[in-house]
Copies of this chain bind each other. A is one copy, B any other.
Amino acid sequence: MKLQQLIKTHQLGLLFQQGKFGIEKESQRIDNKGNIVPTAHPSVFGNRSYHPYIQTDFAESQLELITPPNDKLEDTYRWLSAIHEVTLRSLPDDEYIFPFSMPAGLPPESEIKEAQLDNEWDVKYREHLSAIYGKYKQMVSGIHYNFQISDEFVESAFALQTEYSDKIAFRNALYMKLANNFLRYQWILVYLLAATPTVEAQYFGENRPLAEGQLVRSLRSSPYGYVNAPHVVINHDSLQEYVESLEHFVASGDLLAEKEFYSNVRLRGAKKVRELLEKGVKYAEFRLFDLNPFSPYGIELADAKFIHLFLLAMLWIDETSGQKEVELGKQKLYQVALEDPRAHTAFQAEGEAILNLMLAMLEDLSAPQSEKDLLQQKLAQFVDPSQTVNGRLLAAIEQTGSYKALGAKLAQQYKAQAFERFYAISAFDNMELSTQALLFDAIQQGLQIELLDENDQFLALKFGDHLEYVKNGNMTSHDQYISPLIMENKVVTKKVLAKAGFNVPKSVEFISVEQAVAHYPLFEGKAVVIKPKSTNYGLGITIFQQGVTDKADFAKAIEIAFREDKEVMVEDYLVGTEYRFFVLGDETLAVLLRVPANVKGDGIHTVRELVEAKNSDSLRGDGSRSPLKKIALGDIELLQLKEQGLTPDSIPAEGQIVQLRANSNISTGGDSIDMTDQMHDSYKQLAVGIAKAMGAKVCGVDLIIPGLTKAAEPSLRSWGVIEANFNPMMMMHIFPYQGKSRRLTKAVLKMLFPELP
């Protein structure tokens, strides 16, 4: 099968470079010394019988983190990162993830628990493996790299070639070529990427095959790794022969199941390999890769990219390996695996030839320079082995004393990193924090997630056959369309709420400045708010807190409001404190007080210093990427200071509250203070009723309340509704400045999936 010419002639290069990518990563949970922990798989991850991302492999301590397949490798890597962050933040305080493939600090074999899965057969299979291979060998971890050739490429190439008349046969031949050529040249990846040069003595027990102090490239890929008995030889000459020989060894009892065949490539797409003949291979799983301890996720994105290019090359080259070449490849693999990682490889010339061929391929494919640079880096590593992962690793181990100590150190470092912006998911930081929080919970609880549109915060979530769509973290099928439309329109909101018997400040609407000013006598002496009818950003609002007494002031305020809208409202001003109630269904889940940006004096530091100190809180940042915002010292803040007779260099007295803003918005440095437990229940019930009156399931209700500890009375002096929000900011409640965190995103998931355990 010759693809290269076909791709070049018919400009299939772009399709050829497309595909689907998935990564599975095994690793051990450890304590802070690097010892494997005896604890059960954390229950916070729900049930392993359905969890798509967080599973256990052989042992109870052995996490298996699985990305969903993606069209872009970069996205797969983002998922790998996200799943890691969720896992690391969900582990017990004293547990970490070991970054090496070879375990350390192994307990006695008898104490190693096979993964406690629900399925009896799964447990039995693991017990069988323990018996045949020993438990220690099963504790080795690695990366499995799944690659699916682009369907569109297969379609196009099939239509243009002449060798195959059946599309399935063509597809299977493509995968056989990919698999066999990979097996032929896999040693190259081991040379460049392997990271299991050594293992603790206890691993081999008395039968240690290596000399004292002997270092190798990859114990895991060597004959001392995870291999079948030597007489189990599967024929790779064709898929047909592959299927038959595999079935033979299962029938003979040499293998308990097809999956006990430990090839570095598995052809995927069916429960039994025989089905592949008819259904066709769906994707291939490459199982060669040692964990790279220098990456918190076990693999660097650049290396994942390199592996993709290597796989493309295995399809690109004209030769198609058969069983003979596969055998040769295995020999080379074993030889390279046991080479001294500090030395050049015996096959340097072949390695460089393949990499140069890849470079030529990139040229033909008009690949970006970055990919060529990546190839050049790898080429250089054939000349200088110290640049390989192993090379760098040995230096690091030497510095730390042992790979166990290095692993423990890195594991702690990676966990700390995962907590640095604990309110975010780094890989999805292009989305809003609320959506990130929802994603965190959904990953943790094992919902199947599809990012339908990241810019638009649009997700599909699935549990079994139950599909739900979510936008902005809380817009769902559970709300009626009409509810947000009601809330969007302040006039309609008030009419609807008034009709339902809730206290709303009275207001009068005007359609012209003249009309409004003519009605000035209606408002003279009253405390009123003048605002545009439908703006949402606080623009154009004037408050006469002490009552409006001057017609010219009134006219000015009216004019300002009309700049923002064609209609303007003059509304009663309510006296009291504004609280935000987050309602979900029949419950007020959180109550928040928002306080304008401020600092508290200590009699020692200047305002500027106090602001700096307050801004150093890890919750405070700029833009929309943190739950709280840094306090600025701009014109508005300086003016506010001036009104209090202060400058940034003033030193406020101890306990003195210095206000830096008049408005309480979180976006201008305000503080969010959780008051859920302090708020009288009657107000929480009111908020629920208000949401219900608008038919809303998820709703942010703003109430003005003079005293939060006494029960609500029916009069407008006791409380009033200011506004209702159909897209309430959940982050304010999840990560408040003061008080308890309220994990609202979990409640949203529970609403969508009440069947979640």
Contacts and interface: CB of A to CB of B under 8 A. Distances in A.
Interface in A176-207: none
A480 B469 CA distance: 11
Interface in A537-576: 566-567
Given A452-B496, A489-B456, A495-B452, A521 B11 contact: yes
A484 B14 CA distance: 35
A395 interface: no
A471 B496 CA distance: 13
Contacts of A491: 452-453
A174 interface: no
A477 interface: yes
A115 B480 CA distance: 42
A477 B469 CA distance: 18
A458 interface: yes
B471 A14 contact: no
Interface string A456-484: 10101000000001110001111111111
B475 A477 contact: no
Contacts of A495: 450, 452, 460
A284 to B, nearest CB: 24
A105 interface: no
A480 B482 contact: no
A695 B477 contact: yes
Given A481-B480, A482-B471, A486-B469, A455 B522 contact: no
A524 interface: yes
Please indicate which of the listed interface residues A450, A478, A486, A566 has the most CB atoms of chain B within 10 Å of its own CB.
A486
A669 interface: no
A485 interface: yes
A165 to B, nearest CB: 22
A55 B13 CA distance: 76
A499 interface: yes
A14 B521 contact: yes
A477 to B, nearest CB: 4
A604 B751 CA distance: 69
A450 B479 CA distance: 23
A343 interface: no
A476 B481 contact: yes
A469 B482 contact: yes
Oligomer copy total: 2
A139 to B, nearest CB: 39
A492 interface: yes
A167 interface: no
A405 interface: no
Contacts of A13: 521
Interface string A115-145: 0000000000000000000000000000000
A479 B480 contact: yes
A717 interface: no
Given A496-B452, A524-B11, A475 B482 contact: yes
A483 B475 CA distance: 10
User: Interface centre among A13, A14, A452, A496, by most B CB within 10 Å?
Assistant: A452
Contacts of A567: 455
A428 B193 CA distance: 75
Interface string A21-38: 000000000000000000
A317 interface: no
A15 interface: yes
A229 B85 CA distance: 92
Contacts of A476: 480-482
Given A477-B695, A492-B456, A485 B471 contact: yes
Contact of A492 (B11, B453, B482, B521): B453
B458 A489 contact: yes
Contacts of A15: 522
Interface in A508-525: 519, 521-522, 524
A525 to B, nearest CB: 10
Contacts of A492: 452-453, 456, 458, 469
Contacts of A524: 11
A173 B566 CA distance: 41
A499 B14 contact: no
A492 B459 CA distance: 9
A239 to B, nearest CB: 29
A11, A453, A483: most-surrounded residue (chain B CB, <10 A)? A453
A78 to B, nearest CB: 16
Contacts of A456: 489, 492
Nearest to A696: B481
A567 B483 CA distance: 30
B477 A519 contact: no
Contact of A483 (B450, B452, B460, B481): B481
A452 B490 CA distance: 11
Nearest to A469: B482
B489 A453 contact: yes
Given A452-B495, A479-B480, A480-B481, A519 B11 contact: no
Nearest to A485: B471
A484 B469 CA distance: 12
Contacts of A496: 452, 460, 469
18 contacts: A11-B524, A452-B491, A452-B496, A453-B489, A455-B567, A458-B486, A458-B489, A460-B495, A460-B496, A469-B485, A471-B482, A471-B485, A476-B480, A477-B482, A478-B481, A479-B481, A481-B481, A481-B726
